[in-house]
């Protein structure tokens, strides 16, 4: 199975998961479970390929720019895939029983959770730095939505925004580093080539400063994503998210992205001092600070959050140190942390379900009432503390054993790791004792005595809320009994770091339950020190409070100060540069353009051979230009809004005439159908506005704007003349007829460009169009009319039938028009609508089908269908529009965008590139063969999006206006009745 197919599964099942959970409640999570389970099974089935011959998949996209879809599945990717997909599958099962059936946003959570898992796997599999950046940003976006799941909570919104801002800041820095590494001498955007050239010393050879700058930028991305000093503050705040989110993001995915990048790049840049020293220093400092802060917390999740900060620091320090043994230890800790930390978070969620609280000061007796859960939590905490015979112990022991033989630098790092590990053991005990210990706390409620009202679930949670953490705890403990097997999994990637170092036993590293007397003694001292710190935790906490940094110098406060000042500066700059006056803004832009371009033209225009300049090529061009000029004067001088609209329509007809004369019938057709629909929209909007523009006296500012407009127009014309006179080579358009036929399988150059050459842009524009129309209709309905105007088609047909019964059958040309007042109906318009509507719809479908080879296409066909709907609306009001289009505009918009995206991915399944046009021939026996291309799907998507836009805009503007008009008619009738 290809990697792209797996990613498509996450997109497909993520889209279905929301609906499934909304419809079937907890059972709907089975849909979200499928892609995670399928990925884990696929990884296990391909273990041999990953460890014997690295699987690399490469799809050329834009070869000239080096933008390719490149994926790599090697031992490191295999480990991360199992961590992400395995832990993700377990958490999905947990979620099915964790959220109450009526929990708000449950369906939305399932979809976003699935999308996030796919984004993280895309990052892990990417073998192209720009793809890594893309998926990196996607994880930031989806984590923002997951952390802010409880969006009504101000705390959750602030935490989501903080996490997004910090990680995005780092990702932009990382992007700059990737660009330097890729575009510099000997550079590459392919990760495997980048790492290989870095190890060989050929990357940016002779430019050590540039290399160091690039690596520092990449390290900033690592530090922000993995919440290391000084960016550690965002992760504890992210505990505002639901507990399953914390288990996934902070144990297996989001924060592991930075660690993964460090592990991926270290074999290539370990010899670069700035890389190894910065990662080691920041990692060790984060280990100590995170552990020191964790032991002070009273909330179980915050203990684990700061513990995550500390553990990430440990893994990064070992990875950055840069030899095979420490890399082996870091990889082992990645496996351990993914299992024990997710288990601890899920156990905390179960404790909260049982006791209704996560506050250590309010919990007592849970271990006595739920000994199995307490045992599970104890095993996971033991692995986190590095207790022997656990997976966490294997990783720490390997690091300790190696650092003992690394000289002064190794001993210094070992001392920091030992001190941090003492704190780790202490907060592990604090977490377990706080969650399960039996303590008497006068004035606080005991979990064993909680009433049913206080306990959301009760004393006996669902089996899955205990079984899932138990499964994860079993992995983190059982892994410690098989060091050889774990070594076989983590060793291959660590082997890539062996070159460049002495292959001694200490340097090569190994995983073992017994590494010698000294490592065992250090481990024993660490555990004893952790027990002592926990025993004296009261004194330590009081000392920590006394010696804590002032609020002014804390990282979280510095972030708030920076954001507050940034917003203040942005406000001042905006108020200075944006006056709110559209004429002033346009005048400034036009003046700058005229000065900048006009100054250059003064030197170049004399070179133009004016004798060869032709004002027009044909009499029709002169007519079109005259129409444009006259219409422009009408629009500028118009005092009535309707007159200005008609002038704009005349300008559109003039432009269409120019397109047709110049041999561009496709553009002319599109211009005409757009003008036809936009005039209707203009008229609808104008009904909200006064009949006349504001009648201001003629002032000097008008003369100034007139001068600026004339000068800008002259400069633009001169620039066009100069550009045309400066051409030395044949235009690229001469190649287009053959190119579009060879690669796009069509004769309509314009359409092939839209659906093939720039198909990505087209889909992006469809997305923008969908967002824009949604925003416009939301603003229209903000007044609250939408609840009164939303009428189902069956009920509307019933009301229309009653109104029609009062009307002669022979005169009822349109059913919806029967519901209008007689003075609002037009027989001629109804007859025209009855005749033109089906004709225009058939013509719109014809334009859609023939657009690949003849004038037309999805956009032109959709606009013609929109014009047909506008005629039905003008004849019968919003009643008739609802009968003509009895469907949800949002559903049509979403369906169109989905079909367009699916058409882009379909060629990939056939071995092509995304949005590549492929011919399709379907035999129909004696009827012959139907021939079309995959680009037809994109055209259909465009058609549906335009159609949905028309229904949405007409329904919003027209229904609101009709409602106001009906209310006015009723008010006048009521007043006449009172007068009589």
Alpha helices in 781-854 (DSSP H): 786-789, 793-804, 827-850
* Nearest of 437, 347, 353 to residue 383 by alpha carbon: 347
- Which of 442, 320, 674, 477 is CA-nearest to residue 666? 674
Distance from C-alpha of 299 to C-alpha of 681, rounded to nearest angstrom: 57
- CA dist 343 and 304 (Å) reads 11
- Closest listed residue to residue 885, CA positions, set 752, 776, 791, 970: 791
What would the two tokens of residue 718 be?
Answer: 């001169």
State whether residue 502 is helix, strand or coil. Answer: coil
Q: Is the distance from CB of 836 to CB of 869 less than 8 angstroms?
A: no
Q: Is 70 exceeded by the pLDDT of residue 391?
A: yes
- 3-state SS assignment for residue 153: coil
The pLDDT tens digits for 806-840 are 444 444 677 766 666 666 677 777 888 888 889 99
Name the maximum alpha-carbon separation found in the chain. Answer: 110
Angle between helices 665-686 and 641-661 (to 10 degrees): 170
Tell me what the mean pLDDT of segment 532-542 comes to. Answer: 84
Task: Give me the sign of the Cα torsion angle 546, 550, 555, 556.
Answer: positive
Quick check: 851 and 753 in contact, CB under 8 A?
no
Top-confidence residue, 744 or 38: 38
Average pLDDT, the chain: 84
pLDDT above 70 (res 902): yes
How, if at all, do strands 67-73 and 55-62 pair?
antiparallel
Place of tokens 């490149």: 70
Integer Cα distance of 538 and 303 in angstroms = 15
Task: Let me know if 550 is exposed, middle or buried by CB neighbors in 10 A (0-12, 13-18, 19+).
Answer: exposed
Tokens standing for residue 645: 């609209």
CA pair distance 591, 603, nearest whole angstrom? 19
Considering Cα of 911, then 913, then 914, then 919, what sign does the dihedral take? negative
Please tell me the predicted confidence (pLDDT) of residue 135: 95
* Cβ within 8 Å of residue 299, ≥6 positions away: 239, 358, 359, 360
CA dihedral 779→784→788→794, nearest 10 degrees, is: 40
The answer to whether the CB of 305 falls within 8 A of the CB of 246 is: yes
pLDDT of residue 731: 81
CA distance 727 to 73: 49
pTM attached to this predicted model = 0.74
Which stretch, 142-146, 249-253, 510-514, has highest mean pLDDT? 142-146
**By three-state DSSP, how is residue 931 classified?**
strand
Residue 915 near residue 760 (C-beta atoms within 8 A)? yes
Candidates 934, 943, 915, 949; CA nearest to 768 is 949
The pair phi, psi for residue 585, each rounded to 5°, is: -60, -45
Would you give the distance in Å from CA 271 to the centre of its chain?
35
- Residues forming beta bridges with residue 73, ordered by sequence position: 55
| Calpha distance 176→213 (Å, rounded) | 10
Residue 826 neighbours by CB under 8 Å, 6+ apart: 875
764-803: per-residue pLDDT in tens? 888 888 888 888 777 776 655 444 444 444 444 455 555 5
Q: How many CB atoms lie within 10 A of CB 479?
A: 26
Residue 555 region, left (φ>0) first, then alpha (ψ -120 to 50), else beta?
A: alpha
Checking if the pLDDT of 980 tops 70, the result is no
Q: Contact, 20 vs 74, CB < 8 A?
A: no
For a pLDDT cut of 90, what percent of the chain falls above it?
Answer: 38
Beta strands in 134-189 (DSSP E): none
Cα–chain center distance at 252: 19
User: Backbone phi, then psi, for 62, in 5-degree steps?
Assistant: -115, 90
Task: Please provide the DSSP assignment of 386-425 as one string.
Answer: T-TTSHHHHHHHHHHHHHTTSHHHHHHHHHHHHHHHHHHH
Per the CB < 8 A criterion, the answer to whether 101 and 26 are in contact is yes
Is the separation of the CB atoms in 89 and 44 below 8 Å?
no
166-217 per-position pLDDT tens digit: 999 999 999 999 999 988 888 889 998 999 898 888 888 888 899 999 999 9
Three-class secondary structure of residue 930 per DSSP:
strand
The answer to whether 865 and 844 have CB atoms below 8 angstroms apart is yes
| pLDDT of the residue at 374 | 93
Count Cα atoms within 13 angstroms, Cβ side, for 106.
21
Would you state the structure tokens that stand for residue 188, as one six-digit string? 């590459």
Q: What is the pLDDT of residue 496?
A: 77
pLDDT tens-digit profile of 692-723?
Answer: 877 665 566 778 888 899 999 999 988 888 88
Query: What residues does 930 pair with on adjacent strands?
Result: 922
For residue 913, the tally of other CB atoms under 10 A from its CB is: 16
pLDDT at 459 over 70: no
301 Cβ contact list (under 8 Å, min separation 6): 239, 243, 246, 345, 348, 358
- Provide the pLDDT confidence category of residue 978 given band limits of 50, 70 and 90: low
């Amino acid at each position: 199975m290809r990697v792209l197919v797996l990613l498509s599964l996450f997109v497909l099942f993520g889209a279905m998961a929301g609906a499934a959970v909304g419809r079937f409640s907890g059972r709907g999570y089975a849909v979200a479970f499928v892609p995670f389970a399928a990925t884990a099974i696929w990884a296990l089935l391909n273990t041999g390929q990953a460890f014997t011959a690295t699987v690399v998949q490469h799809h050329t996209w834009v070869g000239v720019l080096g933008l390719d879809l490149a994926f790599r599945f090697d031992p490191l990717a295999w480990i991360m895939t199992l961590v992400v997909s395995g832990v993700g599958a377990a958490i999905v099962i947990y979620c099915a029983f964790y959220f109450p059936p009526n929990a708000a946003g449950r369906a939305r959570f399932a979809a976003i959770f699935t999308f996030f898992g796919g984004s993280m796997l895309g990052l892990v599999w990417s073998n192209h730095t720009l793809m890594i950046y893309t998926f990196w940003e996607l994880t930031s976006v989806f984590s923002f939505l997951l952390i802010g799941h409880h969006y009504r909570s101000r705390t959750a919104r602030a935490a989501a925004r903080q996490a997004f801002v910090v990680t995005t800041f780092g990702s932009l820095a990382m992007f700059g580093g990737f660009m330097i590494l890729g575009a510099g001498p000997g550079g590459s955007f392919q990760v495997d080539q980048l790492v290989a050239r870095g190890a060989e010393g050929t990357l940016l050879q002779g430019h050590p400063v540039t290399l160091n700058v690039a690596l520092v930028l990449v390290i900033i991305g690592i530090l922000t994503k993995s919440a290391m000093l000084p960016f550690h503050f965002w992760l504890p705040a992210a505990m505002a998210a639901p507990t399953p989110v914390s288990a996934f993001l902070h144990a297996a995915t989001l924060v592991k992205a930075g660690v993964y990048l460090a592990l991926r790049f270290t074999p290539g840049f370990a010899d670069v001092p700035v890389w190894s020293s910065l990662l080691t220093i920041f990692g060790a400092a984060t280990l100590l600070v995170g552990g020191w802060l964790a032991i002070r917390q009273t909330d179980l999740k915050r203990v684990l959050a700061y513990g995550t900060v500390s553990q990430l620091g440990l893994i990064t320090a070992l990875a950055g140190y840069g030899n095979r043994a420490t890399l082996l230890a870091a990889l082992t800790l990645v496996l351990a942390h993914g299992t024990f930390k997710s288990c601890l978070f899920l156990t905390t969620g179960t404790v909260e379900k049982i006791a209704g609280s996560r506050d250590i000061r309010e919990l007592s007796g849970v271990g006595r009432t739920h000994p199995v859960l307490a045992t599970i939590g104890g095993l996971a905490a033991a692995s986190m503390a590095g207790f022997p015979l656990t997976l966490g112990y294997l990783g720490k022991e390997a690091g300790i054993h190696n650092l003992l033989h690394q000289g002064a630098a190794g001993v210094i790092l070992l001392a920091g790791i030992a001190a941090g590990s003492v704190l780790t053991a202490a907060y592990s005990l604090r977490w377990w004792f706080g969650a399960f210990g039996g303590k008497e706390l006068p004035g606080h409620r005991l979990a064993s005595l909680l009433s049913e009202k206080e306990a959301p679930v009760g004393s006996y949670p669902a089996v899955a809320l205990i079984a899932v953490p138990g499964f994860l705890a079993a992995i983190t403990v059982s892994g410690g009994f098989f060091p050889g097997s774990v070594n076989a999994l983590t060793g291959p990637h660590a082997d890539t770091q062996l070159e460049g170092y002495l292959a001694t036993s200490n340097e090569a590293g190994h995983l073992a339950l017994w590494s010698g007397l000294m490592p065992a003694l250090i481990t024993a001292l660490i555990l004893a020190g952790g027990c002592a710190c926990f025993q004296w935790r009261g004194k330590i906490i009081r000392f920590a409070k006394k010696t804590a940094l002032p609020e002014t110098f804390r990282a979280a406060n510095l972030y708030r100060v920076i954001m507050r000042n940034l917003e203040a500066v942005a406000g001042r700059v905006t108020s200075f540069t944006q006056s709110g006056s559209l004429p002033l803004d346009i005048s400034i832009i036009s003046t700058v353009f005229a000065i900048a371009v006009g100054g250059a033209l003064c030197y170049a225009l004399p070179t133009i051979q004016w004798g060869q300049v032709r004002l027009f090529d044909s009499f029709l061009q002169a007519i079109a230009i005259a129409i444009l000029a006259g219409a422009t004067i009408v629009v500028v001088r118009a005092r009535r809004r309707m007159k200005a609209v008609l002038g704009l329509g005349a300008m559109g007809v003039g432009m269409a005439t120019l397109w047709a004369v110049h041999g561009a019938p496709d553009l002319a057709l599109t211009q005409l159908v757009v003008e036809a629909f936009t005039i209707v929209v203009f008229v609808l909007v104008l009904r909200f506005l006064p009949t006349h523009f504001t009648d201001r006296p003629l002032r000097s500012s008008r003369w100034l704007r007139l001068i600026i407009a004339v000068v800008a127009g002259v400069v633009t014309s001169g620039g066009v003349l100069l550009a045309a006179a400066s051409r030395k080579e044949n235009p690229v358009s001469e190649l287009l007829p053959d190119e579009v036929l060879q690669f796009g399988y069509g004769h309509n150059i314009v359409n092939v460009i839209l659906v093939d050459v720039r198909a990505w842009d087209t889909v992006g524009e469809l997305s923008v169009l969908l967002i824009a129309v949604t925003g416009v209709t939301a603003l229209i309905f903000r007044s609250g009319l939408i609840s009164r105007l939303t009428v189902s088609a069956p009920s509307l047909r019933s009301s229309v039938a009653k109104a029609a019964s009062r009307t002669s059958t022979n005169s009822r040309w349109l059913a919806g028009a029967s519901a209008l007042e007689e003075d609002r109906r037009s027989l001629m318009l109804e007859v025209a609508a009855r005749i033109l509507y089906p004709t225009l719809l058939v013509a719109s479908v014809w334009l859609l089908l023939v657009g690949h080879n003849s004038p037309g296409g999805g956009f032109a066909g959709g606009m013609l269908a929109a014009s047909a709907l506008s005629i039905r609306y003008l004849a019968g009001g919003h009643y008739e529009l609802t009968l003509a289009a009895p469907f949800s505009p949002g559903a049509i918009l979403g369906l169109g965008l989905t079909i367009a995206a699916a058409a882009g991915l379909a060629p990939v399944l056939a071995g092509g590139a995304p949005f590549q046009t492929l011919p399709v021939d379907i035999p129909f026996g004696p009827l012959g063969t139907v021939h079309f291309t995959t680009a037809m799907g994109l055209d259909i998507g465009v058609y549906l999006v335009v159609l949905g836009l028309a229904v949405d805009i007409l329904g919003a503007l027209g229904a609101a206006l009709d409602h106001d008009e009906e209310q006015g008619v009723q008010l006048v009738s009521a007043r006449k009745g009172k007068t009589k």
